[in-house]
Structures are given as C-alpha cells and as structure tokens.
Amino acid sequence: MQEKELDSKLRTIASHTMMDSAKTAGLHLHSKQLWLKQIHALSIQGNYELRIDLEDFENSTAYAHYGTFGVGLFSVDPDDDGYPLTVGDYSGNAGDSLLKHNGMKFTTKDKDNDHSENNCASFYHGAWWYRNCHTSNLNGQYLRGQHTSYADGIEWSSWTGWQYSLKFSEMKIRPTRDPDNK
C-alpha cells in the first residue's frame, strides 16, 4: 500500500520532470536531485522494473521494458556516489538503448561523472547516466523530430537514431511481482 502510494508519486514526478525538460531544455538542479533521490529511495525498497514509453511526431509509439532497475542500489552515500544506474533484462519493441548505461553514474552540467574527457551533459544538453557518452538521452532538448545537430535531443537511438528528438518519453517503475519480495 505504502509502496503503491510512493510509486504513483514517483510516476508523477518522473513525467513532470520530463515535461519540464521538454519545456526548459534541461532540468533544474533541484528537481533533478529530488528526482534521483526519489527513485533511489524507492528502488532500494525491493526489486523494481522499469518501463519506458516513447512517442514520435507521427504518433508512433514504442516501449522498452527492463526487468531489473535501481539507482544507487549499492551506494553507502548515493549522492556522493553519483546515483549509479542498475538496469538489466530488456524486452520491448523500441530496442535497447539503456543497457550500455548500466553501472554509470548520473552526470549533470555541474557534476561530471562520465567516462568522456568532456562533460556529456554539457555536450549533449541533457542529464543522464552517461558513459562516453550515450545511446539514449531522454533529458535532452525538445527539438521536435528530425534535427541537424547530433544526439542532443530526446534520443532513443535504437528506435529513432541520434538525430530525432522524440515528442514524448516517460519512465515508470514498479515493484516486480516476486512472491519472495515484500
């Protein structure tokens, strides 16, 4: 019951954050940290799964599902540790564009935790669990479909490549249906 309430709260925060991102082309530090804190607080309570829904400007939709999901699962101090992503067990029809980010820390313009000599968040105008740098960039700029710049929109590369900024994206998590998991 309590988890369900928290879950629905998180969903609201997540989609709100994405809408913010679409409008302002970047998350404010405060809401970003709050977002990560909330996901972390939830995901350490048990086993969680992640569903990402996407839509392009032709109203086509696709999804990616990950049977394993968490943020900062093994961190003593997640804030200090950069909220590393745990993700696994892909299924769906959007293709996987997140598994390469498994284990990566969250990078923002003012906190470079990535493996690039540059700051991927600055370079690609987003905030994400960048490696060097990304196969997805769901907090990128709202560039409305095809764009000439490279990989700095709301990208899910396995579905629409690196030069198509999606109309809509949403990340939702919920506890996995594991009878041993209370």
Size of the site for Ca ion (CB under 5 A): 3
Element at 171 (helix H, strand E): strand 168-175
CB-nearer residue toward Ca ion: 98 or 120: 120
Q: Report how far apart, in Å, the C-alpha atoms of 178 and of each of 3, 11, 20, 87, 106 are.
A: 14, 21, 34, 17, 28
Q: Specify the residue, 96 or 114, whose C-beta has the smaller distance to Ca ion.
A: 114
Q: Shortest Cβ distance from residue 114 to Ca ion (Å)?
A: 4
Q: Which of residues 51-80 bind Ca ion (CB under 5 A)?
A: none
Residue 174 to residue 82: CA distance in whole angstroms: 22
- Closest distance to Ca ion from the beta carbon of 32 (Å): 17
Nearest approach in angstroms of CB 133 to Ca ion is 9
DSSP 159: H
Min dist CB 105 to Ca ion, Å, is 11
Q: How far is CA 59 from CA 56, 148, 163, in A?
A: 5, 21, 17
Touching Ca ion, residues 102-161 (CB under 5 A): 112, 114, 116
- Whether the CB-CB separation of 36 and 17 falls below 8 Å is answered with no
When the beta carbons of 70 and 126 are compared against Ca ion, the nearer one is: 126
- Does residue 122 contact residue 110 with C-beta atoms inside 8 Å? no
Closer to Ca ion at the Cβ: 123 or 142? 123
Q: Write b or e for each residue in 42-65: b if 16 or more Cβ atoms lie within 10 A of its Cβ, otherwise e.
A: bbeeebbbbbbbbebeeeeebbbb
Q: Select 108 or 136, whichever has its Cβ closest to Ca ion.
A: 108
CB of 85: closest distance to Ca ion in angstroms?
Answer: 16
Round the CA-based radius of gyration of the chain to a whole number and report it. 15
- Which residues of the shown chain bind Ca ion in the complex (CB under 5 A)? 112, 114, 116
